A and B are shown apart, each in its own frame.
Chain A
């Protein structure tokens, strides 16, 4: 079946360093969503990308959707301790727009 994979699984950075997580789907996605989950919390929506090659920014966060709509990335510039958590990408499957599956997530930890 369709799979959504993320790398790396873990990332430990010094505060102030940059961070990037990559998301790859085995099939073309109509859109991709990014979520953040703080330790002990629930996933919270960050952004949705729809167009091929789309780039969106939220302060220090930059999101990209690949030209083929099969991959995406999230880049955080100058990480802060508030960025700690697990970042997930998610998207609808090819056979059902309502069936949303998640990537395995990238857990970000930060050394102050």
Chain B
């Protein structure tokens, strides 16, 4: 049982480049989330999708876009990467009002 799968695991971008972080879950969960975690810091919510077909802003949405492609997949796009977006990105999923299941994270460095 794979759970929540994130790709890629590592990525280095130059300022201004774009990229999409992929996330897929195989647990038939309704809700999916993107968080970022800066070194020594907590998790900050970027965007979430309460159910297929809906997306909403979290605490720090600026500079990001998301797509809930179907019930399984939730992608995060950086249109023009900035050094301030250097972070570890975690995708998570859950059934309504239940605990979050996290992927292993994507470590992104923007130079």
User: In the assembly, what is the distance between CA of A102 and CA of B46, in Å?
Assistant: 12
B56-111 residues at the A interface, CB under 8 angstroms: 56, 58-59, 90, 94, 96-105
Select from chain B the residue with minimum beta-carbon distance to A102.
B43
A94-112 residues at the B interface, CB under 8 angstroms: 96-105, 107
Report the number of A-B residue pairs with Cβ-Cβ less than 8 Å.
Answer: 60
Of B35, B98, B104, the contact of A102 (CB 8 Å cutoff): B35
User: In the assembly, what is the distance between CA of A30 and CA of B31, in Å?
Assistant: 17
User: In the assembly, what is the distance between CA of A97 and CA of B101, in Å?
Assistant: 16
Known A-B contacts A42-B102, A42-B103, A48-B99; the reply to A99 vs B48 at CB < 8 A is yes
A positions within 8 Å CB-CB of B: 1, 6, 30-31, 33, 35, 41-45, 48, 88, 90, 92, 96-105, 107
13 interchain pairs (CB within 8 A)? A33-B100, A42-B103, A42-B104, A45-B99, A88-B42, A96-B56, A98-B96, A99-B50, A100-B100, A102-B35, A103-B42, A104-B42, A105-B41
